[in-house]
Structure 1
Amino acid sequence: MENKKKHCISIMLILFLSILYVLPIIQTNSIFHFNDQDTAFHLSRISGLSNVFSSPVNYNNFGGNGTAMNLFYPWLTLYPAYLLLSLTGNLIMTYNLYYLFLTFITMVIAYFCMFKIKKNYFTAFTFSIIFSYASYRSTDIFFRGSLGEAVALAFLPLVFLGCYYIFYSDFKKWYWLTLGMTLTVYTHLLSVLLNAIFIFIIFVISVYFINNKKERIINLIKATMWTVFLSLGVFIPMIEQTLFVELKVPKGGVLNGLLVSDYLSNTLNNNLSYFGIGFILFILAIYTYNRRNYLSKIDIFIYFAGILTVYASTRLFPWHYIETTSLNVIQFTWRLTAYATLFLSYAGSISYTSNIKNNNTILKRVVLLSLLVVMIHTVSVNLLLNQDGKNIYDKGQATSVSQSYVHTDYANKESLNHPEVVRSKNFVIDGVTKRLDYSTTDSVFTFKYNNENKGANIVTPLYFYKGVIVEINGKKVESSLSKYGTTQFSANEGNIEVKIYYEYTLLARLSQFISFVVLLLFIWLVTKKDPSVYNSSATP
């Protein structure tokens, strides 16, 4: 009972801190979009989820060309944002409330994951605020508008907890890794790749000094296999479409690394338009080094993993050996800062609350740190929002941008060479470019045409994927990929009404069903195997 009371107090404080975290943007009643960042992209994703359970395509977002973004960019963990939009009818309120919800979830997950490892309320709370208020996470949210990566960060402590159990503690609790990785799969695939890389590296290093090697390897494989089957609903439809047509996919970047001088200056200034660990973590990392004697060997290993990850994100690391490999898909070396933030937050929260036997003293230290973190965060966000190079969306602008924003990733590759068809929404009928009136709902694109030629070939400005359905006067007809990289079909003579829409393929539906059944089995297995999974006071 005492444990539940303490947890309830912690949760109430976390809710209060979550409100303080997003307060700088909520009070503006606006959405800030910095040039060349991702805010508009994710606004379009949110508004485009209205029909996602019946169709992977929404004609009222991403410029209306029928991009199947929801087949290639996981959307399940973003769906609560659409539910908020349905309730409020206000995209600005939705966007800001979703970040409030996300911050609360991030802090709660971080708190309980650390508590399961260390069984200390103060350490868990400290880790929660340091990790969730970290500079890099704020950069993702307030500067980059990188909603997918920000959500993935919420599940990073779960991945960490799962790895901690498998590598260093009770390997029978492998399911925490499955849970964390599966949630990441349904959020942000690039984060899945980065998680897998870090898990592999840490395992290779750890395997030399861990006990029960065979059992730990078996349980790591078990966690991986469950993750794969739980994720079939994402991977199979994506692979199916990629093999069906040639698509424009995101390219790898040039992995230069960050300049050390810039890194230090921007970190000390807690500049949220940069990608460093931030002032608090920088000072805490130095503090932790001086108190490393109070850390266990595993904690010290994790601490130095954080230091090495910071090093790896800079130009001191020989990235030229890697940038020509397939790993350049990570695009930017500063993405590693997410993992440096995790490792240093973990070690820092332990060092900050360790070897202090008086609870009143620890409480004062945690309160002081919380005040400092909130103050620096608030000042840094306000400084960021006053920088140049941004657009400020009101309610009408946010809605307009979410519908008109054009994003060409996962479009038919050849369509990029024909903007006169795609961007201008022109039709090509028997080789002649024409403008036709059309109407759209979220799911259906409709137009009428008086066809004077038998067997006329009609090229539309809509992308072509497996699962596209073309109906002429209520009857389905064959369609194909045109030389313009869009959907084409043949029509008989006379007045025609054409409806074009997309459905999930049979294989996609089957993979989704399999993942759902596996989820039910996973829940049954975990609750049967370990009923204490819901009890945060259980021993790790």
Structure 2
Amino acid sequence: MALWLKNYLKKYKWDLLFSLVLTAVLMFPYMIRSFTPVEHDTFFHLSRIENLSRAIRDGNFFPAIYPYENNGFGYASSLFYNDLFLIPSALLRLAGVPLALCYRINVIIAVYISSLTMMSLVRSIYDHTPAVWLSAAAYLFSNYHITDIYVRGALGEIFALAALPAMLCAMYRILHDHDTEGWFTLALSLGALALCHNLTFVLGVFLFILVFGLYLDALKKDIFIALVKGVGFAFLISAFFTLPMLEQLGSQSLVVHYFASGSDLSAYSMDLWQYFANTTVFAVGGNARPHDATMLVNVGYFLEFAPLLYLFVKKENKNRLVTFALIAGYLMILLPCSLVPWKYLYAMRILQFPWRLNTLGILLLSIPAAIGVNEILGKKPLVFACIAVLSAECVWHVRPVLSRTFGMDDTLTWQNVLDGQLCDPCYSADYVRVELAGGDYLPWPHPDYRTQTRKIMDASGNEQDIEYSQRAGYFSFTLNEETEEELILPLTWYNGYTAYKTDKSFTMIETGRTDDGLLKVRNTGKGDYFVLFEDTALRRLSSSLSIMGFVFMILIRSKMNWWSEYMNVINKRKKS
């Protein structure tokens, strides 16, 4: 491992250093201020970091429920939105690093990795450093990526943008270069994509299928086995999250189901003018708002026009994947237009917004754009001049971030936010919006959590004079009277909540869900009761699968490296 790292640093040191430069250009508003502007989903991700740090403090690195969220009713965001890549930030938070700074560090790291993976992808196709660096600049500085970071605060998608180039690079190595060892990178990148962001993972799978079809004529047994290994191990190492998530989605009706079934995608399609807008706007998306109040979601002028230069590259210098990237990339950025009947494309509602296809657009178009510019201009200084122009435009785009005044400075704590020092914690919602954002994973219907009593109730909704204790995911109370009336607890129900009675014996008692999504327990009379979220059988099984899959994958990879080194030694001895 140490030797591999030494060789990697020696071989790619300039890529590593230039990625730092590109990251600094894009992220300088986060680097020069001890302030984190709060945009669409920023509060939600700050809450995730804070609550994960509290869970880790209680000894749980992979919590299912954040029990302190939503006025103590609890919220299961981690069952639907994986927190694995937030663990470093949560550990920093436990070490005393300000919460807002933890968030900024997370984004900066994701951007840096995105630059490296994009460089790795283009270098595997076209090993010319100016083009490699230009591709990373185009990818990082695209309007869509800037909006993701500074307007939407879409942390999951920002991380996913680091995994997408790695996945495509692994597929290229396997399918084009016939490098069967690429299965390991494919497994890691595809698995990471599943853990970063659900919807980007769906787009990644779609891209995987397209690229697989592109090289179908070159498919051989060893290539197919490498792909199966990569996909199989990706499934295994991400199963601890994906399978329980699917189980929870099928266990009850959630807010996300309600909105997905009734959303009108055409309201978020792109009118013609939106393809040519070029000013960062701190607003929301859509096509019914004034131009100066509509979020910028296009890919930017460079990625809209520069890829066309690849058409003028000599035929003998063209590459199948790059040609595919040119065609598919333009399709991705054109499909969100309002001419497409999105209103009737019900199956596509999973995207939430048609312009989400630009996620693939910026990835694919960055490849022919960089190669086309390098081939046509031909001289390094001219390509570096393009990078300089893109960098200047990026600075111009992100400069307004410095003027944002609504946000968290490094002196504020999460409790300050919940106390309303920045805004009403529930603003325009019947739950604690700063913690839950859109509340996608609340039951549907659900009570008004702002006014819902925090007392235990009977089946008729009458408050009971029963004291309880709630800490670190455990809810306990004592009944002193012999009654057998069903009790409703001040907890939001999720599949996995279990109740026990500990009076002379240790007995599991029946639990269920009320019509409005609260947890109810069967009252079996006098005694001590405690309630906790226990992993379902599927979650326990999938966690075991992920652990075994990861260990097995590392062992296979290590064995392959050991065998390769052994054979090299044998061959050298034979030659001598």
Provide Cα deviations, 1:119-138, integer angstroms capped at 9, x if missing partner.
Answer: 33333222222212222111
Opposite residue 333 of structure 2, the aligned amino acid is V
Distance 1:67 1:298, change over 3 A: closer
Post-superposition offset of 1:181: 0.9
For 2:362 and 2:513, how far apart are their aligned partners in 1? 46
Q: Specify the alignment match of 1:12 in structure 2.
A: 17
Task: Give aligned-pair identity as a percent.
Answer: 22
Is residue 147–residue 280 contact of structure 2 (8 Å, CA) maintained in 1? no
For 1:533 and 1:4, how far apart are their aligned partners in 2? 21
Provide Cα deviations, 1:126-155, integer angstroms capped at 9, x if missing partner.
Answer: 222221222211111111111111111110
Q: Specify the alignment match of 1:489 in structure 2.
A: 521
Opposite residue 29 of structure 1, the aligned amino acid is S
Normalising by structure 2, we get a TM-score of 0.79
For 2:563 and 2:163, how far apart are their aligned partners in 1? 20
Distance 1:183 1:324, change over 3 A: same
Identify which range, 275-284 or 418-427, moves more after superposition: 418-427
Is residue 469–residue 476 contact of structure 1 (8 Å, CA) maintained in 2? no
Opposite residue 301 of structure 2, the aligned amino acid is F
Post-superposition offset of 1:3: 8.2
Alignment counterpart, residue 223 of structure 1, candidates 218, 226, 230 = 230
1:170 aligns with 2:189: no
Identify which range, 2-11 or 341-350, moves more after superposition: 2-11
Q: Specify the alignment match of 2:360 in structure 1.
A: 339
SS in 1 for 2:233: helix
Superposed counterparts of 1:241-256, under 5 Å: 241-250=248-257, 251-252=259-260, 253-256=263-266
Opposite residue 327 of structure 2, the aligned amino acid is F
Post-superposition offset of 1:375: 2.0
Distance 1:450 1:530, change over 3 A: closer
Taking only aligned residues, the RMSD between alpha carbons, in angstroms, comes to 3.4
Alignment counterpart, residue 111 of structure 1, candidates 119, 134, 138 = 119
Post-superposition offset of 1:430: 4.6
Provide Cα deviations, 1:272-310, integer angstroms capped at 9, x if missing partner.
Answer: 731110133234234444557654343222212211211
Alignment counterpart, residue 200 of structure 1, candidates 209, 218, 231 = 209
For 1:199 and 1:71, how far apart are their aligned partners in 2? 25
Q: Specify the alignment match of 2:306 in structure 1.
A: 284
Identify which range, 507-516 or 450-459, moves more after superposition: 450-459
For 2:487 and 2:120, how far apart are their aligned partners in 1? 58
1:508 aligns with 2:539: yes
Superposed counterparts of 1:348-387, under 5 Å: 348-354=369-375, 361-362=379-380, 364-383=381-400, 386=403
1:264 aligns with 2:275: yes
For 2:518 and 2:162, how far apart are their aligned partners in 1? 38
Q: Specify the alignment match of 1:66 in structure 2.
A: 74
Post-superposition offset of 1:439: 5.5
1:127 aligns with 2:135: yes
Provide Cα deviations, 1:404-423, integer angstroms capped at 9, x if missing partner.
Answer: 42453333334x1x326985
Distance 1:243 1:312, change over 3 A: closer
Opposite residue 511 of structure 1, the aligned amino acid is S
Distance 1:196 1:54, change over 3 A: closer
Provide Cα deviations, 1:496-519, integer angstroms capped at 9, x if missing partner.
Answer: 765433232343123112211111
SS in 2 for 1:186: helix
Identify which range, 268-277 or 155-164, moves more after superposition: 268-277
Alignment counterpart, residue 330 of structure 1, candidates 351, 372, 376 = 351
Is residue 106–residue 154 contact of structure 1 (8 Å, CA) maintained in 2? yes
Distance 1:137 1:527, change over 3 A: farther
Opposite residue 138 of structure 1, the aligned amino acid is I
Is residue 88–residue 94 contact of structure 1 (8 Å, CA) maintained in 2? no
1:296 aligns with 2:319: yes
1:393 aligns with 2:408: yes
Distance 1:380 1:421, change over 3 A: closer
1:41 aligns with 2:44: yes
Post-superposition offset of 1:366: 4.5
* Unmatched 5+ stretches in structure 2: 1-5, 283-294, 419-424, 426-431, 566-576
Q: Specify the alignment match of 2:422 in structure 1.
A: none
Distance 1:391 1:476, change over 3 A: farther
SS in 2 for 1:236: helix
Choose between structure 1 and 2 for higher RCO, CA contacts under 8 A separated by at least 6 residues.
1
Provide Cα deviations, 1:386-429, integer angstroms capped at 9, x if missing partner.
Answer: 47xx8423443655447942453333334x1x326985434322
Provide Cα deviations, 1:320-377, integer angstroms capped at 9, x if missing partner.
Answer: 55x122x3211111111011101111111212223677xxx41x33442333222211
Opposite residue 275 of structure 2, the aligned amino acid is L
Post-superposition offset of 1:161: 0.9
Superposed counterparts of 1:314-325, under 5 Å: 314-320=337-343, 323-325=345-347
Is residue 84–residue 98 contact of structure 1 (8 Å, CA) maintained in 2? no
SS in 2 for 1:461: strand
Post-superposition offset of 1:190: 1.4
Is residue 46–residue 82 contact of structure 1 (8 Å, CA) maintained in 2? yes
Identify which range, 420-429 or 327-336, moves more after superposition: 420-429
Is residue 71–residue 449 contact of structure 2 (8 Å, CA) maintained in 1? no
Post-superposition offset of 1:182: 0.4
Post-superposition offset of 1:66: 1.9
Is residue 157–residue 342 contact of structure 1 (8 Å, CA) maintained in 2? yes
Opposite residue 428 of structure 1, the aligned amino acid is M
Normalising by structure 1, we get a TM-score of 0.84
Is residue 119–residue 135 contact of structure 2 (8 Å, CA) maintained in 1? yes
Identify which range, 179-188 or 104-113, moves more after superposition: 104-113
Q: Specify the alignment match of 1:180 in structure 2.
A: 189
For 1:309 and 1:524, how far apart are their aligned partners in 2? 39
Post-superposition offset of 1:476: 5.6
For 2:321 and 2:330, how far apart are their aligned partners in 1? 14
Is residue 113–residue 162 contact of structure 2 (8 Å, CA) maintained in 1? yes
* Unmatched 5+ stretches in structure 1: 535-540
Q: Specify the alignment match of 2:421 in structure 1.
A: none
Is residue 148–residue 188 contact of structure 1 (8 Å, CA) maintained in 2? yes
Distance 1:356 1:179, change over 3 A: same
For 1:312 and 1:289, how far apart are their aligned partners in 2? 21
Alignment counterpart, residue 211 of structure 1, candidates 218, 221, 230 = 218
1:99 aligns with 2:107: yes
Q: Specify the alignment match of 2:158 in structure 1.
A: 150
Distance 1:67 1:470, change over 3 A: same
Superposed counterparts of 1:402-413, under 5 Å: 404=432, 405-406=435-436, 408-413=439-444
Identify which range, 254-263 or 136-145, moves more after superposition: 254-263
Distance 1:116 1:296, change over 3 A: closer
Opposite residue 203 of structure 1, the aligned amino acid is F
Q: Specify the alignment match of 1:443 in structure 2.
A: 473
For 1:289 and 1:480, how far apart are their aligned partners in 2? 62
Is residue 69–residue 410 contact of structure 1 (8 Å, CA) maintained in 2? yes
